[in-house]
Structure 1
Amino acid sequence: MNRTVKGLIVTSLTVGFISLLCVTFANAQEGRGLIIGQVTDPQGAVVPNATVTAVREGTQQKYTAQTNSGGDFSIPYLQPGIYTVLVEAAGFKKALRTAVTVDVAGKVNLNIALDIGSISETVTIQAETALINTADASGGTVIDPERVQNLPLNGRQIYTLLDLTPGVKFTQSTFGPGGFSGTRGWDETNQYSINGVSGLYNQFTLNGAPITQQTSTNTGQWEIAPNVDAVHEFKIMTNTYDAQYGRAGGGTINTIIKNGTKDFHGTAFDFWRNDVLDANTFQLNASKTPRQRHNQHQFGGTLGGPIPKIGKNTFFFLSFEGWREILPNGFVSTTPAVDVRPRADGAVDFRQFFSSQLPLCGGSVTTGCYNPTGTSPRGGIYDPLSCATKNADGTCKTRNRFSYNGVLDVIPPNRISPIGLKILNLYPLPNRGGAGEFSNFTATNPGRYRYNQPLIRIDHNFSEKTRFYGMYAWWSGTEFRSNNGFPGPAMRGDINFRSNKTAILDVTRTFSSTLFGDLRVSYNRTYKTTANGAVAGGLETLTDQDLGLTMPVRQGIINTVSRNWAPSISVSGYDQIIGNSVNQSVEALMYETYEVSPSFSKTMGRHSLHFGAQGMRFHAIPGFILGNPNGSFAFNPDFTRQNPGTQTSGANNDGAGVAALLLGYPTGGSVDFSYDVYEYYHYFGGFLQDDFKLRRNLTLNLGMRWDVELSPHERFNKLNAGFDYTVKSPINDLITFPTLPNGASIVKPINGGFRFSSKDLAPYDTQWNHWQPRVGVAWALNSKTVLRSGWGKFTAVARESVGIRRGPRTLPSPPEILRTVATLRQDISIPEFRIPTVLCCRWVIL
């Protein structure tokens, strides 16, 4: 690269740097380290104008500073690694200090005494012990390269090492069928309590850039776990008194990615696990089903070095990790037996259904038994459209027992609902011979997991004063895991897709021997879909009309989605079927962070100043907001029990949920109506940090930070923004106001309604007074002992349920919704069928 082009690039970067600093206000969280110290002569007098050069092993990158009139120096923005520090001054021998380790976000206090002599002579100082941190009061744990590479990790997910830090506890307690194991690279979580603080208030960064979900109910969750072989080291900062770190009430976890060096280096790995030493599951053993196949491969590698033909100042680093797993997933489920399915004549005989569960009446057995030929103390299927006896008020007390051709507990063919029969046929036939009515179906549907995670980093040194690096990481994965083992549209389970993209650009500039600057721009995007079955996951097709239904989505009553999937079905005693929900979870469907962070470091006498800012813009589409707009129905025995007025008849074991299904009488149902939300908001922060060396062994950390998060916006003003007690309620015109028994009238209209955000009305007021002073002290008693203490005020992001928000909507009258949603048998009137409003739609407003 010629000098003219190089100068143009440097000038452009510098101008852009200063311009962004002027127009952007923000919080630069830094993962690189700092070396500060003092240079003296043999008598302890300070040596001004000494040149201090730190050279990083591997890349031979040089970082240079000069001591001031007090002999103090500061070298910021050092990539974590091992350095050799050379000190030169006229009239003194050179001093060479080897093996100086700079950790993630570490501050090294390096005091060097020069011997009088010729500058052509060099005194090498060998480090007998590692330097301890005597310049920073903050507490935490560095997981260094040796531990990162050598500690055993089941699943090789880097953040499982957080448990090695005092004060950190992994709080995840639910594992298994939901797809969370906690050890894989896609098991995103915020279940880390640091110093007793909820994981909602932690911040994860990658090379200082935010990779944390900042909103919804998973605030504080990391969004990418880099390949272990790509991680240089990371630090868990549990007590941070440095003002550059903000937006965290718990801890800050900063991970640093390796970079290329002047030599080529690489790794390759394949971790393989199979079923040879695995035991069979209890369920499959009980059903005499053999152990299923388990095959897991976690593979990948890294490669780094100089980029050929570009020059000695450009380096690359590549990383890839892949995961492929077939997981044994055995089920013992319950499906309707052959005896509760239609016979050749179309009737359904329930006698075997009760005989297999209850003792038969006869001889001395007269109570607690089932009699298929006469009056039965227990069991039996009763007709909800009949009435055998009545109460004093004329309501039905007991129902008549079903009978067909003189045989009790047989539902006639003309009473079978075509819709109910279609639903019943979605259940597979039992495949466990002799199992009876329940636990009669065995399946071995294997779970399947896969993800890929490529990463690339490019470093380029324009000169010893201007350095740049860019990094891009991406991962995506899929999960398939059945929860019931059923084939076809009946399958329910986890069919998930997750992905994340992270991009970071960073430039560092040395303006003088005492002034350094850095500018970082980053982008992080997470996208997820969470389907709860084969229909929602696109693996099977089943619409409402396939079952003979016309659901509210097809009628236009629910217009938040266009898909016309069949409703999910729950029948008492059997596994639920038909998964028709997408993103009905606590995870965000899409989440983005745009960040810019300029900062400067300045040495002034004994003061090492670090000041800067950070600005972020967040986008969020909550995934759980649409709920289940395609609806659900539930069937229990109530409509087919003898006593319609009380549920205590269930103690008689009468009725059956599958009978209610065959008759077409749901005992419950719902359709979720809610708008999606696309919200965005801004965060700004600024800080000033002063590491003040009172003495060679005593450092005072003084800092001030200010943060503000502005009120969110929604693209179409769907966010709640308060309550208006004077506006006429939207339900007022849907109510018929009765006259009270004393002749008085109810006061109307009913007043009160939610207000919604606009450009003139924010959902909540912005708080501008988040000033956070911080003080720390580090006192080195000797080369092996340091006392640290500190106090600080911190502002964290509060947990926010962003999804349960509604916009204005005109609905049809409640009876219209009830008619279309609440019954499968629209041609039959059921007098005792009292449909509560909750079966219509679920309305939740926060």
Structure 2
Amino acid sequence: MNLSSAATRAVIVFCSLLALSATAVYGQLSSASVTGLVRDSGGGVLPKAKVVLKNVDTTVERTAETNASGSYSFLNIPPGRYTLETSITGFRTATVAEFTLAVNQASTIDIALEVGTLAQTVAIEAQAMAIESQTSELGTVVAEKQVVDLPLNGRNFTQLLALTPGVAPVSVSQNAGGGFGVPVTQGSNFVFPAINGQTNRSNFFMTDGLNNQGATISTYAVPPIIDAIQEFKVNSHNDEAEFGSALGGIINVVTKSGTNSLHGTLWEYVRNDAFDARNTFQKAVTPFKQNQFGASVGGPVLIPKLYNGRNKTFFYGAFQQFLYTRAANGFFQVPTEANYAGDLSDIPTQIYNPFTTREDPAHPGSFIRDPFPNNRIPASLINPQMLAFARATLPKAGPKLNGDNNAIDPTPLRQNQTEWTARVDQTIGQKDFAWFRYSTLQNDTTSSGGRPSISSTKSNPATNYGGSYVHTFSPTLILQGQYGRTTLQDNSNSKFIGLPAGFGPSLGFASTFAGDFADGSSLIPQVNVASFFGGGESGGLNPRVSDIHQFRGNVTKIWGRHTLRFGGEYSSTGFEAFLKSVNVNFAGQQTGNPSNSKEPGSALASFLLNVPDNAGRRNVHETTRPGGVMSW
């Protein structure tokens, strides 16, 4: 057999099967479509009938003409409210009353014209589709009213995912509440559910049909602002190539665009200790402040005496900020002044001198040590670097607060999250339509690093932007191109504050241990003393948690009553992380009795003598080179 001729026949058969299919395959990711037949009252098809689809809010019109089969198509239509008007000489004009197109909806509206004149008009009531007849997908649209009216803790729309069938807000192994790099507001969690039994990491999150994934675990990089959401759809079953990257659900949010009228909103949600009652057992109300406020506005682009964008150029923008402060008292134990002087008589177990460790002559293979009389360590044995470290980084001991804890860390938890989004839609004549959206988020959190002298910070800058362009070559040939870009960082640092310059090197740690990290920095080690105190400097810089470029294009061709759609997509992603830490850990066994486990020693004594139990260093520079995936 001639292989080339066999391959040619296979391609011809495949294309023939596509052409014979009477099901329209649209799969538009952030838009909708309207198709139908125009007939006379006797059921005969009417070619060359004029069909006008009009957006109620923007008054933008799209015009199509029925083909020889009497069919018409409007593809890549932005979701919204529309009317439909059909006319042809010799028949009355038919007008379909206002109806709504949802994201990813393929609507079928057939029109029957009555004999008469064009001046005569017949009003037709739009009928809601009970079932999606154009595609095999299963999905649920959550409309703007539900998004705006239902109470959402932290204004987090993912809590509404539970309204759709097949969604279970439970963990089936991974990521039910978000995770790595997700900019979550305090007191609120994102809901990343299991859909149709798949794992939480099997979902795919999109905004306006563009990839908006955070890291690699099915979360949002830039969560959309509630007032900027027009609607969203949860597709729980997909057989179309456009959705070929997820086993679970596809969550596709459509943002609002402006209209011919200027509209805006303002909001603020407040929680404050001024509204709280004092706990009976406390002297004062626990400090707490939470403010979430913002604004949105949209309308036509109007520049006096320069440009009138009504009916063609529209804008929409939204801003939101979240401010949070909460008291977060932490208790821990620190050495007393007597302890610093070597007096550990307050420790109930005997401590031993590790420098006297030797083999027990009476029991070969066992070891013995000399005890410190009255649990007092001679000043000559106390390590000056460890003593200086403790005095510089620890608060002074106070009275015992609970148990053996004698110090408190009053460092509050603070969060400042700012988010912006802006969108422009442009209609160019009858054949071209484009939009562009830019969304950005900056999340900053500060908290205690374990004691008052350590500040822990977390920063999550993120962006998601892109656009779409649609060109209609003819009523039967349409081209669409899209580009999207997503970036997300997850940067965490713990640093000592208020220490004199050069303090780190004065502790005597080798530069190869406390320095020479991949990013060129040095750290003051984490010093952890069991049952007493811990913490120190560390860093987790992830400048490329999510770094995605996405290109997509498709061509739609209508032949008679059949629709063919061809397209391709290229998506690339990369990852980079700097992870660094160095720690010295002290335990009691170094100053315990090696031949009697009932005398375990003291971690504080081991610290003062500078005899650590173990130490560790982490220096990771992980890079995933940009990789690409092509699909069609």
- Shorter-normalised TM range: 0.7 to 0.9
1:298 aligns with 2:284: no
| Superposed CA RMSD | 3.0
CA 482–280 in structure 1, closer or farther in 2 if over 3 Å, else same: farther
> Which residue of structure 2 lines up, in the alignment, with residue 515 of structure 1?
477
- By how many angstroms is 1:155 displaced? 0.5
Between the two proteins, the alignment pairs up a number of residues equal to 598
Alignment of 1:108-119 (within 5 A): 108-119=107-118
1:580 aligns with 2:538: yes
Contact kept? 1:98, 1:125, Cα under 8 Å? yes
Secondary structure of residue in 2 paired with 1:534:
strand
> Which residue of structure 2 lines up, in the alignment, with residue 635 of structure 1?
586
Contact kept? 1:101, 1:131, Cα under 8 Å? no
Q: Distance in 2 between matches of 1:316 and 1:47?
A: 39
- By how many angstroms is 1:469 displaced? 1.4
- By how many angstroms is 1:269 displaced? 0.8
Aligned with 2:346 (options 352, 371, 378): 352
Alignment of 1:141-220 (within 5 A): 141-171=140-170, 184=185, 191-213=192-214, 218-220=216-218
1:617 aligns with 2:575: no
> Which residue of structure 1 lines up, in the alignment, with residue 458 of structure 2?
496
1:421 aligns with 2:387: yes
> Which residue of structure 1 lines up, in the alignment, with residue 12 of structure 2?
none
- By how many angstroms is 1:195 displaced? 1.4
- By how many angstroms is 1:439 displaced? 2.5
Alignment of 1:449-460 (within 5 A): 449-460=415-426
- By how many angstroms is 1:616 displaced? 1.7
1:526 aligns with 2:498: no
> Which residue of structure 1 lines up, in the alignment, with residue 397 of structure 2?
430
- By how many angstroms is 1:243 displaced? 2.6
Alignment of 1:5-404 (within 5 A): 30-127=29-126, 132-171=131-170, 184=185, 191-213=192-214, 218-276=216-274, 290-309=284-303, 310-311=307-308, 312=310, 313-331=312-330, 333-338=331-336, 341-343=339-341, 348-354=342-348, 379-387=349-357, 390=360, 394-403=364-373
1:600 aligns with 2:555: yes
CA 538–518 in structure 1, closer or farther in 2 if over 3 Å, else same: farther
> Which residue of structure 2 lines up, in the alignment, with residue 669 of structure 1?
615
Secondary structure of residue in 1 paired with 2:606:
helix
Contact kept? 2:181, 2:460, Cα under 8 Å? no
- By how many angstroms is 1:129 displaced? 5.3
TM-score by length of 2: 0.87
CA 593–179 in structure 1, closer or farther in 2 if over 3 Å, else same: closer
Runs (5+) with no aligned partner, structure 1: 1-26, 355-378, 687-846
- By how many angstroms is 1:513 displaced? 1.3
- By how many angstroms is 1:673 displaced? 3.7
Counterpart residue identity of residue 534, structure 1: K
Q: Distance in 2 between matches of 1:477 and 1:267?
A: 23
> Which residue of structure 2 lines up, in the alignment, with residue 462 of structure 1?
428
Secondary structure of residue in 2 paired with 1:411:
coil
Counterpart residue identity of residue 626, structure 1: L
Q: Distance in 1 between matches of 2:260 and 2:70?
A: 33
CA 201–175 in structure 1, closer or farther in 2 if over 3 Å, else same: closer
Contact kept? 1:156, 1:185, Cα under 8 Å? no
* Higher relative contact order, structure no. (Cα contacts within 8 Å, ≥ 6 residues apart): 1
Q: Distance in 2 between matches of 1:175 and 1:600?
A: 38
- By how many angstroms is 1:681 displaced? 0.7
1:551 aligns with 2:511: yes
* Identity among equivalent pairs (%): 24
More strand by percentage: 2
Contact kept? 1:302, 1:318, Cα under 8 Å? yes
Contact kept? 1:31, 1:256, Cα under 8 Å? yes
- By how many angstroms is 1:325 displaced? 1.2
- By how many angstroms is 1:335 displaced? 2.1
TM-score by length of 1: 0.66
Contact kept? 1:317, 1:457, Cα under 8 Å? yes
> Which residue of structure 1 lines up, in the alignment, with residue 452 of structure 2?
487
Counterpart residue identity of residue 495, structure 2: A
Runs (5+) with no aligned partner, structure 2: 1-25
CA 253–277 in structure 1, closer or farther in 2 if over 3 Å, else same: same
Aligned with 1:658 (options 604, 609, 613): 604
- By how many angstroms is 1:637 displaced? 0.1
CA 581–124 in structure 1, closer or farther in 2 if over 3 Å, else same: same
- By how many angstroms is 1:543 displaced? 5.4
1:598-623 residue CA offsets vs partner (Å, 9 max, x unmatched)? 112222222222221111222221x3
CA 197–44 in structure 1, closer or farther in 2 if over 3 Å, else same: same
Alignment of 1:532-547 (within 5 A): 533-535=494-496, 544-547=504-507
Q: Distance in 2 between matches of 1:498 and 1:578?
A: 22
CA 175–413 in structure 1, closer or farther in 2 if over 3 Å, else same: farther
